[in-house]
Amino acid sequence: MSEFFDRLKRAAKAAASEWKPSRYKIANIQVVCPHCGNDTFAEGTALLNSSGMSFIGLDWANALAITLSCTKCSRIQWFHSTEHETGA
């Protein structure tokens, strides 16, 4: 079991080292945190999943959302559009 946790720690460290905050534009508008005014975010994705779609085996048909987490205050903003510019 100890080996499992060692591998898990190494994977977490590797993922953290790849994390590079950026500036983003969504619909050609610069994204700014409404809470603190910061303009750098860490990008993530979230599945807009429904239990009904899962029940009938259509998980693949669910849409994705882009999540941007503010690097200053950690507020998370969700965007349904996957069209965005990085480093804007």
Query: Taking residues 42-58, what's their average pLDDT?
Result: 74
According to the per-residue pLDDT averaged within each range, which of 19-28, 50-59, 66-75 is highest? Answer: 66-75
Q: Tell me which of 43 and 7 has the higher pLDDT.
A: 43
| pLDDT band of 20, cuts 50, 70, 90 | confident
Q: What is the pTM of this model?
A: 0.63
C-alpha closest to that of 82 among 60, 70, 64: 64
Domains of the chain and CATH, by start = 20-86 (2.20.25)
Distance from C-alpha of 46 to C-alpha of 38, rounded to nearest angstrom: 22
